[in-house]
Chain A
Amino acid sequence: MSDKKLAIIATKGTLDWAYPPFILASTAAALDYEVQIFFTFYGLQLLKKKLSLQVSPLGNPGMPMPMGMDKWFPVLGTAIPGMQSIMTMMMKNKMKAKGVATVAELRDLCNEAEVQMIACQMTVDLFDMQHNEFIDGIDYGGAATFFEFAGEADITLYI
């Protein structure tokens, strides 16, 4: 029906910020968009075979915490060792309880829907990452590769 195109740049590598690119890409694909996601810098974490994404309450005053902790818990306390793992675990449990898909599940759905994923080769090199750390079926390219698709896209998002 639609022959629209959506281009996304995914730059963040935390559990919470993994959602917007994959949710929008999979949904757009379901609406018959052609979709490409360009993963750069920390966004490369979203392409790892073994996802180990975390969410941090540190420096994130907007993050709701149990027992209203976001209102009274000292900011410095959110830097306590183990705090990040605890918050990540709680976030994952909450998501499961609310029927929110896992990042891996959404990524699989994107793959199934033929969303094209491109890893920024420059940042792969910068972080000394290897191609075998990433899921199969992705391409590697640079800014010019992104513009080849984005130049014809109806919507372009930087996340």
Chain B
Amino acid sequence: MADFDQELDATGLNCPLPILRAKKALGGMTGGQILHIIATDPGSVKDFEAFAKQTGNELMESKEEGGKFLFLIKKV
């Protein structure tokens, strides 16, 4: 796991909350910083890909670990 600047626990939350919380967290960060997101919503895997593609933020990593979905997003 790479280093990150901020962590967002989105476990137990369902669509569209993980995306909305991530957007809010990124809003408080500066360009180049990395947000680590922990989610349990299986739909979030496709959603974070789509989110990154549309907002320009970079999805550096997306993986599943012990039933949780982990993402690293670098703020553009």
Contacts from A to B (Cβ < 8 Å): 1-2, 23, 26-27, 30-32, 98-101, 109, 113
Stretch at the interface among B1-9, B12-20, B28-36, B58-66: B12-20
Which residue of the partner chain, among B14, B19, B51, contacts A98 with CB atoms under 8 Å?
B14
Cβ of A32: which chain B residues have Cβ within 8 Å of it?
54-55
B17–A101 contact, CB under 8 A? yes
Least CB distance, A20 to chain B, in whole angstroms: 11
Contacts from B to A (Cβ < 8 Å): 12-17, 19-20, 22-23, 40-41, 51, 54-56, 76
Complex CA–CA separation, A31 to B72 (angstroms): 18
Cβ of B51: which chain A residues have Cβ within 8 Å of it?
30-31
Cβ of B54: which chain A residues have Cβ within 8 Å of it?
1-2, 31-32
Cβ of A31: which chain B residues have Cβ within 8 Å of it?
51, 54-55
Q: Which residue of B lies closest to A101 (CB)?
A: B17
Complex CA–CA separation, A1 to B13 (angstroms): 26
Least CB distance, A97 to chain B, in whole angstroms: 10
